[in-house]
Structure 1
Amino acid sequence: MASISQDMRFRLSLIQYADKYGVSKAARKYKTNRQYIYRWKNRYDGSWDSLRDRSRRPHSHPNQHTDAEIKLIRNMRRRNPHTGLVVFWVKLRQRGYTRSITGLYRLLKRQGMTPEKLPHPKYIPKPYEQMSYPGQRVQIDVKVVPSSCLVNEDKGQKFYQYTAIDEYSRWRYVETFQEQSTYSSAVFLGHLLQRFPMPIECVQTDNGTEFTKRFTSPKDTTPTRFQRVLESHGIRHKLIRPFTPRHNGKVERSHRKDNERFYASHTFYPFEDFSKQLKVYNRRDYNQFPMRPLGWKSPQTVLDEFIQYGVTYV
């Protein structure tokens, strides 16, 4: 229901007083003229809407669209129900339409002929493949250490955190480097193979130059140093789809947690100090920390139970 304004209440009070004491007394009491009272008495039919101000909008305009133009627009809209404003206006101009695009927009909105928006296709994600045992697939990624964590002489330099996380147990291995290159990736992979207690079948990475030459040198088929280490150990290298970091979601999520739990409250000087603090954090606050996807077990517990008893967390 539309709201009742103060002017409408004033008019109703004016009419009721005039009916009781006369128009002349009502005009003197309410400080208005008799014509105003007679006009609203004649218009009043007992409803609030009759006391509402009427629209002052003109019924016609010398520059309004002609019937022929409206017919052309209706026919064009019927044939092109989903066409946007600009394309629709250009098509009309090709058929003799001379009005501006703003004038066309106002007419379309007034006549209810705005384009019909097609529903966006619903994204249905594919079910993620669940791993059955440790080492079946390991995700590897590189994180640039926030510059705000570096102090003194190391301020302005770049440190890198290499991270590998087993998809089955969520067990994680991290290492720090002062450069991001295929050489650093190969060194990290060699240390990972020594630390992880089970054989690794597949390593999944993004398409960074520290892992592959897929986009930097597509014609060069020679493997990088990182890929040669994988081949020498018979490990399959899986590259995720470009620009979709969610496919490496477990390691990306762990990096986000590192920002919240570690980097937000730590500073490092020098590089050896950063490396030591990161190792302590990863061992104590990640591999030993209970996780809901693991049934509130820690990654180290899940890995140890599988190796010792073949116990799964699902």
Structure 2
Amino acid sequence: MPHANAPLTELGRLRLARCVVDDGWPLRQAADRFQVSVTTAKRWADRYREHGPRGMTDRSSRPHHSPHRLPDQVEQRVLQVRLERRWGPARIAFLLGLNPSTVHQVLVRGGVARLRHIDRATGEPVRRYEHPAPGDLVHVDIKKLGNIPDGGGHKIHGRTAGGHNSSAHRDPNRPRKISGRANLGYGYLHNAVDDHSRLAYTEILPDETKQTAAAFWQRARNFFHTSGITVTRVLTDNGSCYRSRLWRDTLTAAGITHKRTRPYRPQTNGKVERFNRTLLDEWAYARPYHTETERREALPQWLHIYNHHRGHTALKGLPPASRVPNLSGQYN
């Protein structure tokens, strides 16, 4: 197919060629008539003589010979390593002594799926799915998040500000660090995301016990209910709180079916895992906060923007609220 700026379509090329070959027009006259160069007019006339109307189509710009292309056996080795180890181009290149860009070209030519599109455990393509209606499945998960010290963390002061972390400068009354971080405690983000609409509900809670998880779900279910969504199934990982009798009884009492992901397969719960990443990137670490309270106070506004205004790529640029007609406050 001709490119957007081509002066001639295939039909125009054929008409030009017939004027020269069949009707005997001089090349310059035909070139002037069709507003192209004499060289172009000659090319299409010659192709018409040799191939007829079939010669009016564009040919591939790929060279007939590629003397610098890797030998077939090396390309097969690249594909074999990818299949067996599921490594990216950089690691394969390091193993085989090649350039990463060369390895990438081999993988593209081989039609190999990107790593993010396959299951690392099996190598099989990840099956994308979306339930047909809101409430058919809600993904639930917990994300552990370190608290911010008063005055701000390293995003404001830097990781080694003042040298106070070294043993020579440590205040004996200052809390000792645990695993490189001051013992400031953690918050636990309990998240629920509707599979069809991506509508999300989030709370920051002090722990991930079964009592806390069950109470969170009661409030999350009420949020979905007031939005016009009746939840019929819930998907979680295999965390202890989700394997408890309390969690089971809480869902059963509401007529909700509980499903759990396969062990060591977090991608099964991929929609809430992706929401976790968005939550961290666009709220938790989006700007320097001076206190944990300041960050937590910013969460409701961010969540409102996410549900009502932020375009979602899986929803063709529309926000989750666009798939929940009964959701109040959609345009606030």
Q: Normalising to structure 2: TM-score of the pair?
A: 0.48
Match in the other structure for 2:253: 232
Look up the SS of the partner of 2:325 in the other structure: helix
Distance 1:241 1:249 in 2: 12
Look up the SS of the partner of 1:255 in the other structure: helix
| Deviation for aligned residue 1:266 | 4.4
Match 1:200 to one of 231, 235, 241 = 231
Distance 2:313 2:126 in 1: 22
Match in the other structure for 2:282: 261
Q: Which runs of 5+ in 2 are unaligned?
A: 1-120, 152-174, 176-181
Look up the SS of the partner of 2:123 in the other structure: coil
What is the correspondence of 1:271-310 to structure 2 with a 5 Å cutoff? 273-304=294-325
Match 2:268 to one of 247, 250, 258 = 247
The percent of aligned pairs where both chains have the same amino acid is 22
Q: Which runs of 5+ in 1 are unaligned?
A: 1-120, 214-222, 309-314
What is the correspondence of 1:92-131 to structure 2 with a 5 Å cutoff? 123-125=123-125, 127-131=127-131
Paired letter, 1:246: Q
Say whether 1:162 aligns with 2:190: yes
Q: 8 Å contact 1:175–1:279 — kept in the other structure?
A: no
Paired letter, 1:244: R
1:55-82, CA deviations, whole angstroms, 9 ceiling, x for partnerless residues? xxxxxxxxxxxxxxxxxxxxxxxxxxxx
Q: 8 Å contact 2:146–2:184 — kept in the other structure?
A: no
| Deviation for aligned residue 1:228 | 1.3
Look up the SS of the partner of 2:258 in the other structure: strand
| Deviation for aligned residue 1:151 | 3.2
Paired letter, 2:236: T
Over 4 Å off, 4+ runs: 152-155
1:9-38, CA deviations, whole angstroms, 9 ceiling, x for partnerless residues? xxxxxxxxxxxxxxxxxxxxxxxxxxxxxx
| Deviation for aligned residue 1:270 | 5.2
| Deviation for aligned residue 1:282 | 1.0
Q: 8 Å contact 1:185–1:210 — kept in the other structure?
A: yes
Match 2:204 to one of 172, 176, 179 = 176
| Deviation for aligned residue 1:173 | 0.5
Match in the other structure for 2:150: 151
Q: 8 Å contact 2:135–2:233 — kept in the other structure?
A: yes
Look up the SS of the partner of 1:282 in the other structure: helix
For the pair shown, the structure with the greater C-alpha radius of gyration is: 1
Distance 1:122 1:236 in 2: 28
Distance 1:189 1:127 in 2: 27
| Deviation for aligned residue 1:262 | 1.5
Q: Normalising to structure 1: TM-score of the pair?
A: 0.51
Over the aligned positions, Cα root-mean-square deviation in angstroms equals 2.7
